[in-house]
Amino acid sequence: MSPHLTKLSRHNLRKGHLAIGGILAAAVLLVAFRLVPGWASATSVAMPFGVAIAVHAGVVLAGSGLFIAALRARSRPRQADGDGLGTTLHSARLYDWMATAYTLGRESRLRERTLDVAGITANQHVLDVGCGTGTLSLAAKKRVGPNGSVRGVDASPEMIGRASAKAVRRGLAVTFEVAAAQSLPFADGAFDLVLCSLAFHHLPREARAFALAEMRRVLKPGGRALVVEFRRERGISAMLNPVALIHSRRNPRILGEVEDLVRRSGFQNVSTGPLGFGGMGYVLAER
């Protein structure tokens, strides 16, 4: 390995360590501020309440910024040869830590809320597109039961590896495989429900319509597709959700774009709304 590559690898590793430290510090401060009795009053004694809030928000923003820098360093950029994969994340463990910090340890509640909106029921066959490390897929398997099935696909081998390991540890029969959203390796009409949670914005714009067409293709007639993405929010609640804030700034109309593409892809009974968790929204439609 050349000295230049060694230096770059060490630089990326340092950024990863800084990111983890920043996120953990932010999570500890926010949890303490919200949950520990007397924290707010003790803080207000030391400094004005508004200043305390600003300090906490600054820590969260700094930690999130460091995380995003590290994640970009470990992401595969969009290829110039037009492979259409978009941004593929490789830091599976770091991704899980980020999800824990962002949700303040309530990721399971986020996943359950997503499944509630999807209307998942027992015995269904479910596909999770852009499944990441598999948390949503595993929660879905508990809902569909032994007579239902869940498959998860993601373009990142590292994400699929971690998701498969989770399934084994938890004793859940969920199948994960490496595949692109715009080229799903399944037969027509194979699923009752297709989920795509916080993955759509990673696809390049030119591939998004193809991905939705593929989701529709693998759905049974009357089957449903649910896409969850960040909404653009304003005010203090948005500022205290820096990950959502950054994504919504970068893709301010992502949900509107999803809704438009869903309608143009031939879906019926399209509905949208806030997910009710962390500045996220959804588009739900039927084939």
Q: Binning pLDDT at 50, 70 and 90, where does residue 74 land?
A: very low
Long-range contacts of 168-171 (CB under 8 A, 24+ apart): 170/138
pLDDT digit string, tens, across residues 128-145: 999 999 999 999 999 999
How far apart, in whole angstroms, are the C-alpha atoms of residue 4 and residue 7? Answer: 5
Q: What percent of the chain has pLDDT over 70?
A: 61
pLDDT digits (tens, 9 = 90+) for 219-273: 999 999 999 998 865 555 555 555 555 555 556 578 999 999 999 999 999 999 9
What per-residue confidence (pLDDT) applies to 101?
Answer: 75
* pTM given for the model: 0.70
Residue 263 corresponds to which tokens in the numbers above?
């309608």
User: Going by DSSP bridges, is the β-strand pair 191-197/219-230 parallel, antiparallel, or unpaired?
Assistant: parallel
pLDDT over threshold 60, residue 12: no
Nearest-Å Rg of the Cα atoms of the chain is 20
Q: Which of 193, 183, 86 is nearest to 136 (CA)?
A: 193
Cα 136 from Cα 103, distance rounded (Å): 14
Residue 89: which residues within 8 A CB-CB, separation 6 or more?
Answer: 71, 74, 75, 95, 132, 156, 158, 159, 202
CA distance 272 to 204: 22
What mean pLDDT comes out for the span 27-52? 45
pLDDT at 230: 85
Which sequence spans correspond to the domains of the chain? 3-73, 110-286
Predicted local confidence at residue 102, as pLDDT: 72
Structure tokens of 120?
């998942």
Specify the pLDDT at position 95: 80
Question: What percent of the chain is predicted at pLDDT more than 90?
Answer: 51
CATH class, 110-286 region: alpha beta
The pLDDT of residue 11:
44
